[in-house]
Amino acid sequence: MLYGPYYILVEIWNLLTPMVLFHVLWATFVGTVVGMLPGLTATMGIALLTGLTFGMDPKYAIIILLCVYVGAITGGSRSSILLNIPGTPANAAAALDGFPLAQRGEAGPAIGLSATASYIGTVFGILCLAFLTPLLGQLALKFQSWEFFWLGIFGVVVCGNLTAPTDPLKGWIAGFLGLLLSLFGQEGIAAYNRFAFGIDQMRAGFSLIPVLVGAYGLAEVIAVMRERTHIKIPKQVGRILPRWTDIVQNKVHMLRSGVIGVLIGIIPGVGEDVASWVSYDFAKRASKHPELFGKGSKEGLMAAETGDNACIGGAIIPVLSLAVPGSAPAAVLLGAMWLHGIRPGPLLMVEFPNYIWEITAMLILAASASLLISLVGVRFQVKILTVPRPLLMPVVFTLCVIGSYAISVRVFDLWVMFVFGVLGYAMRTYNYPAAPLVLGIILGDMVDVNLRRALIRTDGDITPFFTRPISLILVGITLLVILSRTVWFRRAMAALFRRRPAVPTTQS
Amino acid sequence: MDYPLRRQDIYAAILLIAFSLFIIVESWRMPREMLGFPAYAGPGMVTGLLGLGLLGMALALLVRALRRPGKGVGIRRAEVQAYFAAPETRRLGLVLLLNSAYLLSLGHGIPYYVTTGGYLLATMAVFRAASWWMIALVAGLATTGLAVVFNRIFLVPLP
């Protein structure tokens, strides 16, 4: 690990070819536009591009997807600041202070600050990715079937809890539904066709990319086309380049948000939107001027943007070390890696130790391109925001169709995409988060195979599920997460920590 | 205060209960011993357990919704009429109709340019996205661009 910086520099040097730079620039620009346009999210962008880059060299395909990821999370703040409409859910917190700044005629400085904070957050997350992944990878080597089973359940429960903070039951239902739907089709141990209903195509189950494109892409298309929106852009943008003093004054906020972003990124399936809100909340609590938050505070804007971008690196840490995604876009990235024959997980560090440095170098290029595009092309990007949605969304749907079809060349996958799109739209309408569903679909096979394999190994004895140290920790946290959302548990905790009234002393 | 999604939660819970019962029954009917593996490693083991978990959560959703104040389960004719008269509902119906018609047209030997160009023209026109010449221009450019970029440059097969 001591040689890490050297390896990263070597990988960056290897990537500095005209073709890679060309792909980095266009993909980051596409990502920025995707993130910037309300209704198009980072997950949708990566899911679409996964299908569309399927035929490319895996190295180019992965770097394109990483650039779209970084570009979209960074670009999403543009519409938050200019329109008060978050480009992606991750940029919702940025709208709280970004939009008031734009109303005061400081749209340009706000965009510049958010782009700089995003860059610092992304680089912080990338460095954590480079140095924490091998450590987590070492730990992951101790994982066996019992631990992998619990890791799948833990991921779905925690993700459901955090992505549906007001109603975790709906988050858990979405997660379990995802786990179940992933088990349709031929299973991996005895090759039995589960829930195939005599349909030949169902033997392969639901392909991941059409499901993701549907749940995130088509669901967005339906939601946006259903509403009629009018977009008004501020006429004055102003100076874009941020002032050095603003950056230096907020260094502590950015460092704190970076740590929060990475930690939230590592938690399976939670992702950038939660990281952004938690970073914002912590910055407000620590600020000397909390009263300015929500009224155009630069501290709030920078904290939120650092947090969500630091989460990118954090979310890729469990992808590489455990094959468990830390966020919804990372889930699609994991699927894309599988499609291109890359097998992330505990053995990645053993079989391809340099791959972490390669991913780190790719992300550094993506972050740099994103900063460049954010600071240079803002006036042109603002014009893109004025494109009417009914003109844009049908084109997006045709991209969904190509992306879903390209992987297996099956018309059946188009209908899978359509059904999951309608399901995703219905879930969104009735407050069921899509992230646990997607995470469940990714982790379903891991849960299934590892539970059954573990039972075979122990001759049906379930004791190791609760006695092995890592299993015990995962079970404990999972139960605690579930219990913490019950009323009686909260009451018990409140009673436990309630201060007892002081006993009056009697004077004689 | 009334819970706005009470009715929706009740219907969703009933659907989920039916779905999880179906999963449990089908899992039970799956072969228990295959290729010498014991029953606890059978293909219906995990699906059955997940079905039970989902059933428990669906019941919790149902009980919780029934205990909350809000709209009753019955749907009145006036509510249905108001729902279908709303412009959002009409737009939703149109999107689903146009998108499914486009999917139905794919994979039957009709050239991609015709199906996609037709879909884009129809959708943009129905939603009055822009002036006629702009719609025709965008639909034409988008269809040609998609076909050239993905089919010729990225070598992606088109439906």
pLDDT in tens, A77-87: 888 888 777 77
Range of the domain at A93: 4-486
pLDDT level of residue A174 (50, 70, 90 thresholds): very high
Gap between the Cα atoms of A218 and B102, Å rounded: 13
Residue A345 falls within a domain, yes or no? Answer: yes
Judge contact between A396 and B146, C-beta under 8 A: no
CB contact under 8 A, B128 and A390: yes
Looking at the domain assignment, is residue A284 inside a domain? yes
CB contact under 8 A, A418 and B103: yes
Low-confidence ranges of chain B (pLDDT < 70): 154
Residue A416 contacts B where some CB pair is shorter than 8 Å: no
Residue of chain A minimizing CA distance to B98: A394
| A492 pLDDT tier (thresholds 50, 70, 90) | confident
Contacting B residues, span 66-85, partner chain A, CB-CB under 8 Å = none
Please report which confidence band the pLDDT of residue A501 belongs to, taking 50, 70 and 90 as the band edges.
low
Residue A496 lies in a domain: no
Residue with structure tokens 């890592």? A470
Confidence of residue A506 (pLDDT cuts 50, 70, 90): very low
B38 touches chain A (CB under 8 A): yes
Residue at A498 is within a domain: no
Residue B131, φ and ψ in degrees, nearest 5: -70, 165
State residue A194 phi and psi, 5-degree precision. Answer: -95, 130
Residue A21 lies in a domain: yes
**pTM check: above 0.90:** no
Please tell me the predicted confidence (pLDDT) of residue A231: 62
Residue A502 lies in a domain: no
What the block records as the tokens of A396 is: 């997006």
Residue A495 in this model has a pLDDT that exceeds 60: yes
pLDDT score, position A316: 94
Spatial distance between the Cα atoms of B94 and A390, rounded to a whole number of angstroms: 12
| Tokens read off for A202 | 């169902």
Q: What is the ipTM of this complex?
A: 0.93
pLDDT score, position A237: 67
Q: Within 13 Å of residue B109, how many CA atoms lie on the same side as its CB?
A: 0
- Which helix (H) or strand (E) covers residue A193, if one does? strand A193-194
- When pLDDT is cut at 50, 70 and 90, the band that residue A119 belongs to is very high
Q: Which residues have C-beta within 8 Å of that of residue B37, sequence separation ≥ 6?
A: A189, A190, A452, A456
Interface membership of A172 toward B (CB under 8 Å): yes
100-159 of B, contacting A, C-beta below 8 A? 100, 102-103, 106-107, 116, 119-120, 123-124, 127-130, 134-135, 138, 142-143, 146, 150, 154-159
Q: Is A495 on the interface with B (CB under 8 A)?
A: no
With an 8 Å Cβ cutoff, is A200 touching chain B? no
Q: For the residues A256-275, what does the mean pLDDT come to?
A: 88
Residue A330 domain-assigned (yes or no):
yes
Smallest CA–CA distance from A53 into chain B, residue? B154
- Over residues A30-55, mean pLDDT: 83
| pLDDT confidence of residue A508 | 37
Least Cα separation, residue A33 to chain B (angstroms): 17
Residue B46 contacts A where some CB pair is shorter than 8 Å: yes
| pLDDT at position A220 | 83
Q: Report DSSP letters for A350-407, one per residue.
A: HH-TTHHHHHHHHHHHHHHHHHHHHHHSHHHHHHHTTS-HHHHHHHHHHHHHHHHHHH
- Number of folded domains in chain A? 1
Domain positions in chain B:
6-74, 83-153
Is the pLDDT at A333 greater than 60, yes or no?
A: yes
Give the pLDDT score at A70.
95
Is A494 buried (19+), middle (13-18) or exposed (0-12) by CB count in 10 A?
exposed
pLDDT for position A309: 94
What Å distances lie between residue A345 and A58, A140, A183, A457, B9, CA to CA? 18, 8, 21, 22, 38
